[in-house]
Structure 1
Amino acid sequence: MRYDDRHTLPDKQLPYGVVVDLTNLSKNKVRKMANSELRCKSEFHGAVIQGDLEEQDPSILFPNIPNDASLLSLDIGGTLVKVVYLSRHNTTCMKEWTKELSDGVSSNCPILGGLLHFVKFETKNLDECIEFLQSEQVFLGASSDLCQSVGSRKSIRIKATGGGAYKFANVFSERLGVTFDKMDEIASVVVGANFLLQEIDHEAFTHMNGEKIFININHNDLFPYLLVNIGSGVSMIKVTGNGKFERVTGTHFGGGTIFGLARLLTECQSYDEFLELSQHGDNRALDLTVGDIYGELGYPKHNLSASAIASSFGKVNGKRKLTEYKIEDIAATLLRDFTYHIAQISYLVATLSGLKRIYFGGSYIRGHASTMDNISYGLNYWSKGQIEAVFLRHEGFLGGLGALLSNENIDVDDLIPCKFIKQLPSGISTVRGESQGVPHGNLSEKAGLHEEVERLRAEVERLQKDNTMLNDKLEKLKNNDD
């Protein structure tokens, strides 16, 4: 079955929660994680993207977060620091938001939520990140549960992931009085990806030949899939369910590699500058094609067109001085080589793992059209059209979002029941040429949506009861072991 055939709008799946191997954990830890999964589903249900559909890393509205929750997480990588933080709605903001969605929102109680924001800084400029956190005062809403007394002041505990959560822990402690709760990096990436794919509309999309098409994810047929996270290096993770994943492999040939080569060869000062240079270059000036070897007919016996690349940088030889090559052409060739390399490895790993779906995330995609087009073309070529490349709008914040979603300081019992119906203007994007906007409908349709919300709330309550029973059984097992 082709991926296109599964683009439907099913019910939401429960739950998506914390992602770890439970076999290596204590019974108490298992019990805490079960509670965390239930809290997570209830608190973050109903989230919806704010802003323009073309906006990269748009804010997300969370309608059900209680007032005493302080949400902030950091993903500190080798190249970038990704900050995910919650800002509370004031009355004016809420009025503007409800006006925009008009009849699309119905509530019989105050909406307690806020907007989740996504900001990034270069790790080498860590001071800028710290100054931002100080100026924005994102810690002011910290609840007492998140704070502990340290001498005469309070130390705020926040979720942090990535290697920098260890490397720079003392820096943040000294400058901001912050203590890191360190989260596993791969686990956080998977939690973030699962949440976005299961809960957020207009998040996943394909990008081929310059055309961006949003897709609907069939939550009943999401797993298994391969998650390719392109950071300074690349991790390839097989995700088989909520709470089930395996890092299959990876490659050191990642974004950091390409940027390093780009700096050496083009003297660009940033990755964005490199991407801009690539837009004005032509890889055919340096890449050796099949046509260069076999002529304009290519190699039809083995289905190799004349335009197929036979050797990246294959035209660079001793007859021309290196200074004669344009830096724009060098950048374009580097980018194509990098993206094709990632696409081919992703295809091979997916094939060996028996997977037919591949999602791409990571900060080195940058929402860059040529990067996504190249990955899509390469994957389509090597899979013979059987696998599509699917991208995420919050591609670079999977780890930070996943770390934030592990928050254990909010309890389901603190939530005020809130009936929330979200609706988007019709015709705002397409799914294979058809309108993906939610039709306005009539009162009976809205009533149906309301019933669905109530059904989900009842399902959460049922899971809570099941969780209580499981806790009792675990306690009995623990006593028997003792």
Structure 2
Amino acid sequence: MFPDHTSTHADTAIAPGDDTEHHEGNPRPRAMTSTAEIDSTISHPGSVRINVKGAFIVDSTEQPATPANGNSTVNGSYHEGKDIRLPNHTAVVSHIAVDIGGSLAKLVYFSREAHSTEPGGRLNFHSFETDRIDDCIDFMRHLKDNQLALNGSKPKDLCIMATGGGAFKYHDKIKKALGVDVLREDEMACLIIGLDFFITEIPREVFTYSETEPMQFVEPQADIYPYMLVNIGSGVSILKVSGPKKYERVGGTSLGGGTLWGLLSLLTPANSFDDMLEMAAQGDNAKVDMLVGDIYGTDYNKIGLKSTAIASSFGKVFRMKREAEDEAEDNANVAQDHPQLDQKVHASSNNATSSSQPRGLNDMSSRFSASDVSRSLLYAISNNIGQIAYLHSHIHDLSHIYFGGSFIRGHPQTMNTLSYAIKFWSKGQKQAYFLRHEGYLGAVGAFLNRQPQNWGRRGSFEGDGAALEDRLRARTSEH
């Protein structure tokens, strides 16, 4: 149930018999443990241990996950196509974790390998639109009914670990529907636990991104502190992390994924966030945004701005609106001077607009495609977040900036914009990092926070009593 290698994050993995304590990347001797401390550890066990030895992501694709790489369903749910295989984890897992945000509910659960004689299992990742929380609860009910087949535990043993604002809003609803315990976990703490787990334990999880080098993986590492987490969900929270469970929220903005989702719901026919990202991938923001080249006719080299840099998001809309109004006025004048010509135009048109109504304004929507609008707004939100992130990293002297949250979704334009903003403003001194499971940090943190039944009792560990004492000693630093 424990990994066979040392982790710096005490909440996810500790090597049996390890005699050093890792604190912010610096090992130091661990003091002997008293009987009272051992008793305290048994009473306050801490978090579940997942054997991560040999863990890998079950996805052969070299590209970040996009809506096309997962499996969307008709009820608005989305199964990620990149489970994490845990070939050496053999202990029973009897809980599900869910992170319920303002826009999405993210679910993490463990399952054995279907039709396989090999040991171990995998972590599965599934999301639902929060507006469809009943579908999410139905899915959890399905998992409960199949607990024995999934991971060896019985339905009555199931526990739901919940985090995010919805953990409070929907607590009673989930508990009543499933008839199980629903344990609420702190949202920010879960984000950090989940991110630490991914950074230190999972190969090919963390990567950098740019147009010239689309995906460069970063190997799991021990010395990870301090760093900054920019978690982009419906809104944005910026956390400074100085050590295991040592963090503070240093900033944020209300202009996040919910802003993009809401405005594009008004401006485009998109029915889901994935539809919006797909449209943005096909769009041309230069048809909507005012660029540096539109103003100067070339690059503005003196301050390092390319002609393609955005000078004003949606800056061309007002000018084109005035052009449409002028065109409408001209058409109205033509109609007054040549009424017979205007009647012929109307006879050949399927539009029943009267000659006195400015047709130019009716055609405004055709001047801006939904794809162009989507890309422009995506850039506007992403650029804003990128600059705010840089400013906070500068204030707190942090060079490693991790971007998480369901806003990103492995979307190339989003990642490139965020990465470019960090490099541009820091003059290459700071680096943006992304994750293949960026939207599941909180859910994974809640999953790892589960306290197993009988934790700390002699029958609950693999191994003998000496190993048990070593493991209890290994937890001394947390108390």
Structure 2 counterparts to residues 71-220 of structure 1, below 5 A: 71-89=95-113, 92-95=115-118, 111=119, 113-137=120-144, 140-141=147-148, 156-209=158-211, 211-220=214-223
CA distance 1:139–1:251, change in 2 (3 Å): farther
Which shows bigger deviation, 210-219 or 387-396? Answer: 210-219
- The corresponding residue for 1:36 is 46
CA drift at 1:342: 1.2
How far did 1:168 drift? 1.1
CA distance in 2 between counterparts of 1:82 and 1:138 reads 20
2:253 is the alignment partner of 1:254: no
Displacement of 1:396 after TM fit?
0.7
Residue 398, structure 1, aligned to residue 408, structure 2:
no
Q: CA deviation at 1:88?
A: 2.2
Match of 2:473 among 459, 465, 469: 465
CA distance in 1 between counterparts of 2:428 and 2:96 reads: 41
1:370-417 Cα deviation digits (max 9, x unpaired): 211221122222221222221111111110100010111154753435
Aligned partners of 2:238 and 2:250 also within 8 Å: yes
After superposition, residues 319-330 of structure 1 pair within 5 angstroms as 319-320=323-324, 321=361, 322-323=364-365, 324-330=367-373
Contact kept in structure 1, 2:228 and 2:240, CA below 8 Å: yes
| 8 Å Cα contact 2:10-2:475 kept in structure 1 | no
Look up the equivalent residue of 1:93 and give its one-letter code.
Answer: S
d(CA) in 2 for partners of 1:395, 1:213: 16
- 1:190–1:139 distance in 2 versus 1, CA, 3 Å: farther
Q: Distance in 1 between matches of 2:193 and 2:43?
A: 13
* C-alpha distance in structure 1 between counterparts of 2:468 and 2:283, whole Å: 54
Q: Cα 1:283–1:189, aligned 2, differ >3 Å: closer, same or farther?
A: same
Of stretches 189-198 and 166-175 in structure 1, the one that deviates more from structure 2 is 166-175
Which of 283, 286, 299 is equivalent to 1:284? 286
Closer, same or farther: CA 269–467 of 1 in aligned 2, 3 Å: closer
Q: 1:326 is aligned with what amino acid?
A: S
Quickly say closer, same or farther: Cα 1:59–1:417, change in 2 above 3 A: farther
Equivalent in the alignment of 1:269: 271
SS of residue paired to 2:209: strand
The structural deviation recorded for 1:46 is: 4.6
The two structures have a TM-score, normalised by structure 2, of 0.73
Asked if residue 51 in structure 1 is aligned to residue 55 in structure 2, the reply is: no
| Counterparts in 2 of 1:325 and 1:467: CA distance versus 1, 3 Å | closer
Residue matched to 1:416: 462
CA–CA distance in structure 1, aligned partners of residues 43 and 146 of structure 2:
25
Residue 15 (str. 1) matches residue 38 (str. 2): no
Q: CA deviation at 1:319?
A: 2.5
8 A contact 1:66–1:415 mirrored in 2? no
The aligned residue for residue 385 of structure 1 is: 428
Superposed displacement of residue 179, structure 1: 2.8
Q: Contact 2:96/2:158 (CA < 8 Å) preserved in 1? A: no
SS at match of 2:315: coil
Q: Percent identity?
A: 39
Query: C-alpha distance in 2, partners of 1:339/1:372?
Result: 8
1:452 aligns to what? none
Q: After TM superposition, list the pairs within 5 Å mapping 1:329-340 onto structure 2.
A: 329-340=372-383
Distance across 2 between alignment mates of 1:236 and 1:375 = 14
Q: Which runs of 5+ in 1 are unaligned?
A: 1-10, 19-26, 96-110, 148-152, 419-457, 475-482
Is the counterpart of residue 371 in structure 1 residue 414 in structure 2?
yes
1:249 match: secondary structure? strand
Deviation at 1:180, TM superposition (A): 1.2
* 1:435-474 alignment, distance < 5 Å: 462=470, 464-465=472-473, 467=475
- In structure 2, the partner of 1:311 is 312
Q: 1:217 to 1:199 in 2, by over 3 A?
A: closer
Cα 1:366–1:212 change in 2 (3 A) is same
CA contact (8 A) 1:12 1:219 kept: no
CA contact (8 A) 2:205 2:436 kept: yes
Count of residues paired in the alignment: 387
Matched position secondary structure for 2:267: helix
Deviations 1:114-145 (A, max 9, x none): 211111111111222122223344663499xx
Query: In structure 1, the residue corresponding to 2:195 is in which secondary structure?
Result: helix
In 2, the alpha carbon distance for the partners of 1:292 and 1:326 equals 20
CA contact (8 A) 2:192 2:445 kept: yes
Amino acid paired to 1:47:
A
Matched AA of 1:167: K
Find the aligned partners of 1:33 and 1:316 in 2 and give their Cα distance: 63
Aligned partners of 1:69 and 1:141 also within 8 Å: no
- Alignment gaps of 5+ in structure 2: 13-36, 66-79, 325-360
Equivalent in the alignment of 1:301: 302
Q: Is the contact between residue 188 and residue 398 of structure 1 (CA under 8 Å) also seen in structure 2?
A: yes
User: Amino acid of the residue matched to residue 116 of structure 1?
Assistant: L
- Post-superposition Cα deviations, 1:337-396, rounded to whole Å, max 9, x if no partner, equal 111111111111111111000111101111112211221122222221222221111111
Whether 1:347 aligns to 2:350 is no
Write the distance in 2 (CA, Å) between the matches of 1:239 and 1:255: 23
Q: Matched residues in 2 for 1:379 and 1:354: separation?
A: 13
Mean Cα deviation higher: 187-196 or 201-210: 201-210
Q: Distance in 2 between matches of 1:29 and 1:175?
A: 37
TM-align CA RMSD: 3.2
- Call closer, same or farther: CA 1:219–1:258 in 2, change over 3 Å: same
| Matched AA of 2:371 | E
User: What secondary structure sits across from 2:45 in the alignment?
Assistant: helix
Aligned counterparts of 1:338 and 1:49: Cα–Cα separation in 2: 30
